[in-house]
Amino acid sequence: MAERFEIVQKALVKMLEEKKYATLRDILITMNPSDIAGLFTDLEDNQIPLMFRLLTKEQAADTFVEMDPDAQELLIKGFSDNELKEVLDELYVDDAADIVEEMPANVVKRILKAADPEMRKSINQILRYPENSAGSIMTTEYVSLRPNMTVEEAILRIRRQGVDKETIYTCYVTANDRTLLGLISVKDLLLADDDETRLKDIMLTNIISVTTQDDQEKVARMLSKYNFLALPVVDGENRMVGIVTFDDAMDVLTEEATEDMELMSAMTPSEKPYLRSGSIDLFKNRFPWLTLLMVSSTFTGLIITSFEGALSKVVALTAFIPMLMGTGGNSGSQSSVTVIRALSLGELKFRDIGIVLWKEVRTALLCGIALAAVCFAKIWLIDHLLFGNEEITLLVDLVVCLALALTVVIAKVVGCTLPMIAKALGADPAVMASPFITTIVDAVSLLVYFMFAKMLLPI
Amino acid sequence: MAERFEIVQKALVKMLEEKKYATLRDILITMNPSDIAGLFTDLEDNQIPLMFRLLTKEQAADTFVEMDPDAQELLIKGFSDNELKEVLDELYVDDAADIVEEMPANVVKRILKAADPEMRKSINQILRYPENSAGSIMTTEYVSLRPNMTVEEAILRIRRQGVDKETIYTCYVTANDRTLLGLISVKDLLLADDDETRLKDIMLTNIISVTTQDDQEKVARMLSKYNFLALPVVDGENRMVGIVTFDDAMDVLTEEATEDMELMSAMTPSEKPYLRSGSIDLFKNRFPWLTLLMVSSTFTGLIITSFEGALSKVVALTAFIPMLMGTGGNSGSQSSVTVIRALSLGELKFRDIGIVLWKEVRTALLCGIALAAVCFAKIWLIDHLLFGNEEITLLVDLVVCLALALTVVIAKVVGCTLPMIAKALGADPAVMASPFITTIVDAVSLLVYFMFAKMLLPI
We report the CATH number of the domain holding residue B28 as 1.25.60.10
* Burial profile B365-377: b = 16 or more Cβ within 10 angstroms, e = fewer: bbbbebbbebbbe
| Whether B189 contacts chain A with CB within 8 A | no
Please write the tens of the pLDDT for every residue from A304-314. 888 888 887 88
Whether A308 and A438 share a structural domain: yes
pLDDT at position A4 = 61
| Whether B370 contacts chain A with CB within 8 A | yes
Whether B331 and B389 share a structural domain: yes
Higher pLDDT, A163 or B27: B27
Q: Is the per-residue pLDDT at A459 higher than 80?
A: no
Enter the DSSP assignment of B23: H
pLDDT at position B410 = 95
Whether A201 and A335 share a structural domain: no
For A263, which residue in chain B has the nearest alpha carbon? B334
* End position of a domain, from candidates B69, B97, B128: B128
Cβ contact B362–A295 (<8 Å): no
The interface residues of chain B toward chain A in range 205-244, judged by CB-CB distance below 8 A, are 205-206, 208, 223-227, 229
Whether A215 and A331 share a structural domain: no
pLDDT at position B362 = 95
Q: Is residue B440 part of a domain?
A: yes
Nearest-CB residue to B290 (from A168, A367, A389): A367
B301 in Cβ contact with A320 (< 8 Å): yes
pLDDT at position B356 = 92
Tell me how long chain B is: 459
The interface residues of chain B toward chain A in range 430-459, judged by CB-CB distance below 8 A, are 433-435, 438-439, 442, 446
Q: What is the pTM of this model?
A: 0.83
Residue A86: which residues within 8 A CB-CB, separation 6 or more?
Answer: A57, A60
Whether A446 and A363 share a structural domain: yes
B59 in Cβ contact with B36 (< 8 Å): yes
pLDDT at position B27 = 86
Q: Please state, in angstroms and rounded to a whole number, the distance separating the CA atoms of residues B360 and A283.
A: 10
DSSP string computed for B282-313: HHHHHHHHHHHHHHHTHHHHHHHHHTHHHHHH
Shortest Cα–Cα distance, A78 to chain B (Å): 27
CATH number for the domain spanning A162: value is 3.10.580.10
pLDDT at position B1 = 43
Residue of B338, B340, B391 for testing the chain A interface, max A β-carbons within 10 Å = B338
Q: Is residue A390 part of a domain?
A: yes
B459 in Cβ contact with B453 (< 8 Å): yes
For B254, which residue in chain A has the nearest alpha carbon? A253
Percent of chain A scored above 70 by pLDDT? 99
Whether A115 and A162 share a structural domain: no
Enter the DSSP assignment of A429: G
For chain B, the farthest-separated pair of C-alpha atoms sits apart, in whole angstroms, at 94
Chain B residues whose beta carbon lies within 8 Å of the beta carbon of residue A315: 308, 311-312
Q: Please state, in angstroms and rounded to a whole number, the distance separating the CA atoms of residues A189 and A194.
A: 9
The interface residues of chain A toward chain B in range 305-364, judged by CB-CB distance below 8 A, are 305, 308, 311-312, 315-316, 318-323, 325-327, 329-331, 333-334, 336-342, 345, 347-349, 352, 355-356, 359-360, 362-363
Q: What is the pLDDT along chain B (459 residues), one digit of tens a residue?
A: 445 667 777 888 888 888 888 888 888 888 888 888 888 877 888 888 888 888 888 888 888 888 888 888 888 888 888 888 888 888 888 888 888 888 888 888 888 888 888 888 888 888 888 888 898 888 888 899 999 999 999 998 998 887 778 788 999 999 999 999 999 999 899 888 888 999 999 999 888 999 989 999 999 999 998 889 999 999 888 899 899 999 999 999 999 999 998 888 888 888 888 888 888 888 999 998 888 888 888 888 888 888 888 887 887 888 898 899 989 989 999 999 999 999 988 888 888 999 999 999 999 999 999 999 999 999 998 888 887 778 888 899 999 999 999 999 999 999 999 999 999 998 888 888 767 888 889 999 999 999 999 899 887
For B156, which residue in chain A has the nearest alpha carbon? A190
Q: Is residue A273 part of a domain?
A: no
Structural domain including A443 reads 297-456
For A434, which residue in chain B has the nearest alpha carbon? B265
Cβ contact B338–A282 (<8 Å): yes
Please write the tens of the pLDDT for every residue from A332-384. 999 999 999 999 888 888 889 999 999 999 999 999 999 999 999 999 988 88
pLDDT at position A1 = 43
Q: Is residue B292 part of a domain?
A: no
Cβ contact B187–A168 (<8 Å): yes
Cβ contact B312–A315 (<8 Å): yes
The interface residues of chain B toward chain A in range 70-89, judged by CB-CB distance below 8 A, are none
Q: Please state, in angstroms and rounded to a whole number, the distance separating the CA atoms of residues A400 and A319.
A: 10
| Whether B105 contacts chain A with CB within 8 A | no
For A303, which residue in chain B has the nearest alpha carbon? B319
Whether A442 and A331 share a structural domain: yes
For A336, which residue in chain B has the nearest alpha carbon? B265
Q: Is residue A287 part of a domain?
A: no
Whether B84 and B150 share a structural domain: no
Whether B93 and B149 share a structural domain: no
Whether A50 and A91 share a structural domain: yes
Whether A180 and A237 share a structural domain: yes
Shortest Cα–Cα distance, B5 to chain A (Å): 12
B327 in Cβ contact with B371 (< 8 Å): yes
Nearest-CB residue to B274 (from A260, A304, A338): A338
Whether B450 and B360 share a structural domain: yes
pLDDT at position A81 = 83
Residue type at B116 in one-letter notation:
D
Helix (H, G, I), strand (E, B) or coil at B185: strand
| Whether A132 contacts chain B with CB within 8 A | no
Cβ contact B279–A366 (<8 Å): yes
Total beta-carbon pairs less than 8 A apart between chain A and chain B: 355
Q: Please state, in angstroms and rounded to a whole number, the distance separating the CA atoms of residues B271 and B279.
A: 15
For chain A, the farthest-separated pair of C-alpha atoms sits apart, in whole angstroms, at 94
What totals of helices (H) and strands (E) does chain B contain, helices first? Answer: 24, 6
Q: Is residue A236 part of a domain?
A: yes
Q: What domain count does chain B have?
A: 3
Chain A residues whose beta carbon lies within 8 Å of the beta carbon of residue B331: 286, 290
Burial class (CB in 10 A: 0-12, 13-18, 19+), A294: buried
CATH number for the domain spanning B352: value is 1.10.357.20
Cβ contact A333–B273 (<8 Å): no
Q: Is the per-residue pLDDT at A415 higher than 90?
A: yes
Task: Report the alpha-carbon angle B53-B107-B101, nearest 5.
Answer: 105
* End position of a domain, from candidates A219, A245, A271: A245
Residue A373: which residues within 8 A CB-CB, separation 6 or more?
Answer: A401
Cβ contact B375–A325 (<8 Å): no
Q: Is residue B275 part of a domain?
A: no
Q: Please state, in angstroms and rounded to a whole number, the distance separating the CA atoms of residues A120 and B6.
A: 42
Q: Is residue A15 part of a domain?
A: yes
Helix (H, G, I), strand (E, B) or coil at A172: strand
ipTM of this complex prediction, to 2 decimal places: 0.82
Nearest-CB residue to A275 (from B205, B347, B387): B347
Grade residue A100 by pLDDT with cuts at 50, 70 and 90. confident
- Dihedral sign (CA A281, A285, A291, A297): negative
pLDDT at position B3 = 54
